[in-house]
Amino acid sequence: MTTVGVLALQGDVREHAAAVTSLGADVTLVRRAHELEQVDAIILPGGESTTIDKLLRAFDLRDLLMERIQAGLPVLGSCAGMILLATDLVDGIEGQQTLEAIPMTVRRNAFGRQVDSAEASLTWLPDGSSMRATFIRAPWVESYADEVEVLATAVAGDGVEHAVAVQYGTRLATAFHPEISDELRVHQHLLDLI
């Protein structure tokens, strides 16, 4: 059976685990290297990107996670997870590191502060269907390499359409939180990459 790891250092761990379980996969909560080594895919949950970055280093997971992703481990990063997967950040804090897994520049908190959180309707481009997306202090993709496929866009408060879901090989990232709705297409997309 397929085992999906959910990075369990901080953030929406339970919600992602529930989504993956509902799709029939086993879940391992990843806090240690031996747990990361046993999974077929990994989810980097929404939460606080700077805190998750610090905890990845404190738990000696950062280098192993980077190696596994580079070797083809399918990964999904939602919200803070999108920030962690970017090669470059706008509005990052001093010393903040990323996993440099998707060649894109991401702006932290691009959709505004907590009080600006909102739901939006967007088009899930892989099948052209409508999707409800929840944005909470969400990033957006400022720019990306030609090889990065845009899976969804949204018009933000600046009136400009921005990429909010992308794929680069077996690496997925969303600015929104698919784990807090009944929306399972993003998690299914990850499972399809295994």
What amino acid positions are annotated as catalytic residues? 79, 177, 179
- What are 44's two structure tokens? 């980097």
Query: Rounded CA gap, 151 and 9, in Å?
Result: 27
Both tokens of 143, joined, read 């720019």
CB atoms within 10 A of CB 14: 13
Find out whether 80 and 44 touch, Cβ atoms under 8 Å: yes
Closest by Cα among 174, 168, 102 to 131: 174
Cβ-in-10-Å burial (0-12, 13-18, 19+) of 123 comes to middle
- Looking at residue 25, its amino acid is A
How many residues can be counted in the chain? 194
What is the distance between the alpha carbons of residues 49 and 45, in angstroms, rounded to a whole number?
A: 9
